[in-house]
Structure 1
Amino acid sequence: MAKPIGQRPRVLRYVLLAIGWLSVALGVIGIFLPVLPTTPFLLLAAASFARSSPRFYQWLVHHPHLGPWIRDYLDGNGIPLKGKVYAISLMWLSIGFSCYLVPSIWARSFMLTSAVLVTTYILRQKTLRT
């Protein structure tokens, strides 16, 4: 059984807080920068805050702009169709461009394998009807 937050080592709580805030920053940047995903970073932030600061967790989950991304996923509502199309399209565009620029067959293979796996994961998620 996990220790209550107050009984966890202080250093661990600070590390989790740092990871949480870094993830929030990257998630917000990902809203505007298509090659950076938003939802995974916000989910990582929520998980980090849940283990280090109930106050920051509540702030994030109930945030008017960031909260719905987390709540829809955690509630099992799925991903909006527009979000799926946007994420998959931009991912393949950026991976394709990266494969064009990178001559290494190993790097290309890794990028393409990652893109196939992420695409499969996104397509298998329930589609949120808006």
Structure 2
Amino acid sequence: MNSLSGRTGFKILAYTSIALAAIGVVLPLLPTTPFVLLAAWSASKGSPAFSEWLESHQTFGPAIDNWRRRRAIPLKGKWLALVMLCASWSVLLVGGAAPVVLVATGLMFSVLACYLLTRASC
């Protein structure tokens, strides 16, 4: 992959992620913080100007700064993510997903939950 196409991919990921984060600001079930962090990371790889804008944004900037300085996640974001993990797994269970899918997602969600719970809160 050449440098230009790589930067374009990171830009697309950054803009898509921040769009989902913005939707998450108004939709209570869509977590904002993970999308903001993904947008910041991908923007730093593909668009320095967009990365700078994100870091100085009054809504998104503090979450990026807290993550970069302290690896901290807002407590509200943590709990919302945990609730959504449980809800997602429950939908699979009630929907009759295959046992292998339930086990695989259950393990993956458990690892993710442990990761979230072991990060600092802000």
> Kindly tell me: are residues 52 and 83 of structure 1, through their superposed partners in 2, closer, same or farther at Cα, counting changes over 3 Å?
closer
**Out of 55, 58, 82, which is 2:52 matched to?**
58
Stretches of structure 2 that go unaligned for 5 or more consecutive residues are none
Write the mapping of 1:1-130 to structure 2, written as runs, cut at 5 A. 9-31=3-25, 32=27, 34=29, 36-76=30-70, 78-128=72-122
For the pair shown, the structure with the greater C-alpha radius of gyration is 1
Query: Normalised by the size of structure 1, how large is the TM-score?
Result: 0.78
Stretches of structure 1 that go unaligned for 5 or more consecutive residues are 1-7
> Kindly tell me: are residues 11 and 86 of structure 1, through their superposed partners in 2, closer, same or farther at Cα, counting changes over 3 Å?
closer
Deviates more, 1:76-85 or 1:117-126: 76-85
> Kindly tell me: are residues 49 and 115 of structure 1, through their superposed partners in 2, closer, same or farther at Cα, counting changes over 3 Å?
same
Are the counterparts in 2 of residues 16 and 48 from structure 1 also a CA contact under 8 Å? yes
Structure having the larger proportion of residues in helix? 2
Give, in angstroms, the shift of residue 30 of structure 1: 3.5
Matched residue type, 1:21: Y
Deviates more, 1:116-125 or 1:76-85: 76-85
* Cα RMSD (Å): 2.1
Q: Give the length in aligned residue pairs.
A: 120
Q: Render the CA deviation track for 1:71-117: whole Å, top value 9, x for unaligned.
A: 11111161233332222123212321222113311111122112211
